[in-house]
A = this chain, B = another copy of it.
Amino acid sequence: MAVTQQRFSIRTPGRGTIEITEQVQQIVAHSEIEVGLCNVFLHHTGASLIMCENADPSVRHDLETFFSRIAPDGDPAFIHVLEGPDDMSAHVRMVLTKTELTMPITEGECTLGRWQGIYLYEHRITPHTRDVTVTVFG
């Protein structure tokens, strides 16, 4: 049994999704762990992680449509507006999605389903640098 850990940064172009499956799989491959668990953790509260359908980009387009309706920017009911109209809506979207994902490793890789991809979901309008830590056990 061993544990390895690696941290990396991603520059987001502003609100939207960026796939990070490949970065995660490379860290798992490097670990040479055959059977175990992989935890992906995002160190922020204005962005989040989602497991999402990876074939049709319209899924992520529609997800944004959904979150724009349920957690719109500039909601007059919110008092936490220090960083602008997308400040509190970003926190709400983060709470409704994931800050971490833990996945099985089988035969040396994260055994995701055929249509599953790991995405960083930036909730702020402007570009941000986001840190991710991947921990591999097995």
Query: Would A35 and B3 count as touching, CB distance under 8 A?
Result: yes
B79–A62 contact, CB under 8 A?
yes
Chain B residues with Cβ below 8 Å from A100 are 101-103
Number of interface residues of A (CB under 8 A): 58
**Binary contact readout A19-57 vs B (1 if CB under 8 angstroms, 0 otherwise):** 000000000000000011101011111000011110010
Copies in the complex: 3
Q: Select A104's contact among B5, B52, B66, beta carbons within 8 Å.
A: B5
Which residues in B have their C-beta under 8 angstroms from that of A42?
113
Interface presence of A61 (CB below 8 A): yes
Interchain CA distance A136-B137 in the complex, whole Å? 11
Given the known inter-chain contacts A51-B99, A95-B50, please indicate yes or no for A58 contacting B79, CB distance below 8 A: yes
Binding site for B on A (CB under 8 A): 1-3, 5, 35-37, 39, 41-45, 50-53, 56, 58-59, 61-63, 65-66, 69-71, 77-80, 82, 88, 91-92, 94-97, 99-104, 106, 111-116, 131, 133, 135, 137-138
Q: Could you write out 7 A-B pairs with CB less than 8 Å apart?
A: A39-B102, A44-B115, A51-B95, A51-B99, A95-B97, A100-B101, A104-B135
